[in-house]
Amino acid sequence: MEIERINEHTVKFYMSYGDIEDRGFDREEIWYNRERSEELFWEVMDEVHDEEEFAVEGPLWIQVQALDKGLEIIVTKAQLSKDGQKLELPIPEDKKQEPADENLDALLDDFQKEEQAESQEDKEQKLQFTLRFDDFEDLISLSKLNLNGIKTTLYSFENRYYLYADFYEQTDEEVENQLSILLEYAHESSVSIHRLEEYGKLVIADHALYTIKKHFAS
């Protein structure tokens, strides 16, 4: 799990589905079992408190974003207004009358619907994978294989290289065969494309393997 302290009142953390399963929770139950989802949330908040000294006091505003390989969660504590009398939450005016727990209920309901919709869309989407390379030489070796039917983009993130591979116009068997070849040179990563786009550095936007072969492979 990655934790980022935004300011005195706000903290953001990212959890991969692997992180969630390592804690003894099932990916599906965090969407469909409210009791278990709340149990996971408070367990994580205890860890956030220990690492960032982020005390949970009073109402909270919770924003959850479902990414390809995990969840990004932003938690903001209510703040006293300038007169010191009224608690303020960073939410629209028309929502301020709703209790914080109702806001959380609404969020979870929305994401449950979103998860169901995405599950259906996944059946129609092209297969996409993020691969981690610990050494650039492995990328050079891979580029010599002339793999077809894969759109590739290269990122640099936390001193490692990540190749975003988008398979298209291929059968499931062809994807499986090509992926097995890719994994001889790389490791499948839980880092999502959204995270790479936001926090990583774009190295090669299009035709990454072809470009590497052209410039580095003899």
Q: Is the pLDDT of residue 211 over 90?
A: yes
Give the angle subtended at the CA of 91 by the CAs of 63 and 37, to the nearest 5°: 25
Tell me the two tokens of residue 50: 């220990």
What residue ranges define each of the domains in the chain, with the CATH number in brackets?
2-122 (no CATH), 128-216 (3.30.70.1950)
> Which of 28 and 122 is assigned the larger pLDDT?
28
Beta bridge partners of 187: 132
Residue 13 main-chain phi, psi, to 5 deg:
-140, 150
> What are the tens digits of pLDDT across the range 57-103?
667 788 888 888 888 888 888 665 555 444 454 544 444 444 444 44
What pLDDT digit, counting tens, does each position of 184-210 carry?
999 988 888 888 998 899 999 999 999
pTM of the model: 0.47
